């Protein structure tokens, strides 16, 4: 009788562990999909906010397109490389936006990271010298 009670206790414990694991896995996947829907916010490396006025194909190979009216946080301009590009963190991830597409970005300075001063080049979206 004690052996049967012990086996039942172990089976019950395994069922509880399985339920807790399933709940944790479900919560994690729900939390990750919720984070993917969160709006883009500025941070230290991507402190200038902009919005795409049309769809943009990133210069990063394999990166998904940036949709029209999608918000992006802009990072450093890569003026020394050809074609010149700016790093952007958009909803689909981090990508490079080529200089030819910079006019499609409209700055949203009221959403920039507080306390960070950007040069006039970020205001005009002419990020690199001619």
Q: What is the pLDDT of residues 15-27, one digit of tens each?
A: 454 544 545 444 4
pLDDT band at 31 (very low <50, low <70, confident <90, very high): very low
Residue 43 domain-assigned (yes or no): no
Domain span at 89: 48-124
Q: What is the mean pLDDT of residues 53-58?
A: 96
Tell me the longest C-alpha to C-alpha distance in the chain: 87
Residues 65 and 100 in one domain: yes
Pairing outcome for strands 93-98 and 105-107: unpaired
Tell me how far apart the alpha carbons of residues 22 and 10 are, in angstroms, rounded to a whole number. 18
pLDDT of residue 33: 47
> What pTM was estimated for this model as a whole?
0.69
77 pLDDT exceeds 50?
A: yes
pLDDT of residue 65: 95
Residues 31 and 54 in one domain: no
How many C-alpha atoms does 124 have within 13 Å on its Cβ side?
A: 7
Residues 120 and 66 in one domain: yes
Tell me how far apart the alpha carbons of residues 94 and 47 are, in angstroms, rounded to a whole number. 13
């Amino acid at each position: 009788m004690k052996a049967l009670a012990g086996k039942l206790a172990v089976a019950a414990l395994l069922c509880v562990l399985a339920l807790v694991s399933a709940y944790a896995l479900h919560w994690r996947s729900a939390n990750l999909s919720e984070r993917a829907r969160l709006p883009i916010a500025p941070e230290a490396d991507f402190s200038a906010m902009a919005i795409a006025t049309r769809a943009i194909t990133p210069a990063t190979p394999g990166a998904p397109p940036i949709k029209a009216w999608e918000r992006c946080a802009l990072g450093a301009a890569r003026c020394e490389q050809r074609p010149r590009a700016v790093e952007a963190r958009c909803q689909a991830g981090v990508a490079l936006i080529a200089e030819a597409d910079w006019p499609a970005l409209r700055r949203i300075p009221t959403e920039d990271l507080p306390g960070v001063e950007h040069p006039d080049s970020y205001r005009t979206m002419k990020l690199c010298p001619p």
